[in-house]
Copies of this chain bind each other. A is one copy, B any other.
Amino acid sequence: MIVRFGGEIGIKSEWTRRIYERILFKNMQETLECQSIAYDRIVRRRGRFYVKTHKTQEATEKLTRVFGISSVSPAVETSSDIKEIVQTSLDMASLTIQAQSGFAVRCHRVGKHSYSSIDVCREVGKQVLDSLKERSVYVNLDSPDHALEIEVRDAEAYVFVETLRGAGGFPVGSQAKTVALLSGGIDSPAACWLVMKRGCPIVPIYLDNSPLTDEATRTRALDIARKLFEWSFGHPRKVYIVPHGANLQTFVNKAPRRLTCLLCKRMMYRIAERIANLEKAEGIVTGEAIGEQASQTMTNLRVLDEAAKNYPIHRPLLGFDKTETEALARRIGTYEISIRKAKGCSAAPSQPATQARLAMLKEAEEGIDIEKMVDESVNHAEVITI
């Protein structure tokens, strides 16, 4: 298999690129090993890896889900002897090119050989026409139904007909660790995924609102975390489960009802800051999108932010429409889990504030021992590996 990682990794400085390549190499190994996909070895070359395996289909499927990989082509390896290239190409053509269809042959060559790329294309093209005469195939260079691609590199050659898009981004581990608020809803997993895609290992934090939510809500969040970790094999699978129901109940009892969600969120940020500090993480990821909920108006995001003094709140979904987030969640595989029935938060007020002022929140928090509540929650956090 040919695994490409050009794009953004390719334009980094030599030094950075090497580090990224090493991390990607390790992530690929872990991805194949954790999922018991046998392979001989992975060979690194400039801009790509060659993975030697007989489990081509499974390996392709798994490697297109490794961040940092831009594309994958299942290929047949042969020597760079032109006769062998032609024979391998003919075998591949016979298996894939259908009757009455147009095909093209493309060749990319690196190294010293007794032939040029054009020689390869001509020879393979001629022989395919000849051997598939009965299927009435024809050459169509501009928009072929089938493209037979040959990559010659020094002593080896690779023949392939298919190139699958990879997940893109940077290899997980190339950027600093971040903690993430993970609720079990549709948005927060998509936010986590986007940050993982750009290279950050994540540590999900689930704020457990029970008894205001139920066991199913918690199970759903953990199943989502599990699904997310399928995109970062080889990295820790740690989740914090933090009791938050008592905090929420305090806000319901002691503060104006229209501020409940904002007070709850500010508390979540504070708890996340403590855990970021414990974890030596560099930021906090949330699933907020501008205007998606009353608590997420541009005005409210500002008063929320004020509660996180030491860590940036990263909101990769800021500009996403709900339909876009849902489409992404489907691609990640978390959508189906998020729409499972679970008890939603029963503390949400019917008329939440959309334009809260900081002074209102500060006043509401005044009569409440916020620091003690944070301590209590963090001290009773359960840390599990899933």
Contacts and interface: CB of A to CB of B under 8 A. Distances in A.
Given A199-B291, A291-B198, A298 B318 contact: no
A204 to B, nearest CB: 16
A197 B299 CA distance: 16
A291 to B, nearest CB: 5
B291 A175 contact: yes
A33 interface: no
Interface in A267-296: 282-283, 289-292
Contact of A176 (B8, B178, B299, B324): B299
A169 interface: yes
Contact of A311 (B178, B199, B302, B316): B302
A344 interface: no
Interface residues of A, number: 44
A178 B194 CA distance: 24
B322 A8 contact: yes
A365 interface: no
Contacts of A195: 290, 318-319
Interface string A328-347: 00000000000000000000
B323 A299 contact: no
Interface in A131-167: none
Given A199-B290, A316-B319, A321-B169, A298 B176 contact: yes
Interface in A308-329: 311-316, 318-319, 321-324
Copies in the complex: 2
Contact of A323 (B168, B282, B301): B168
A50 interface: no
Contact of A200 (B292, B298, B313, B315): B298
A231 interface: no
A251 interface: no
Contacts of A315: 314-316, 318
A200 B290 contact: yes
Contact of A298 (B168, B283, B319, B354): B283
Closest 8 CB pairs between A and B? A194-B319, A198-B290, A316-B319, A305-B312, A176-B298, A316-B318, A175-B298, A176-B299
14 contacts: A7-B321, A174-B291, A175-B297, A176-B355, A191-B319, A195-B319, A198-B290, A282-B299, A283-B301, A301-B314, A305-B312, A312-B313, A314-B318, A316-B318
Interface of A: 7-8, 16, 168-170, 174-176, 178, 191, 193-195, 197-200, 282-283, 289-292, 297-299, 301-302, 305, 311-316, 318-319, 321-324, 354-355
Given A169-B321, A176-B299, A316-B319, 11 more contacts: A7-B321, A175-B298, A195-B290, A199-B291, A199-B298, A200-B298, A282-B301, A282-B302, A283-B298, A283-B302, A316-B318
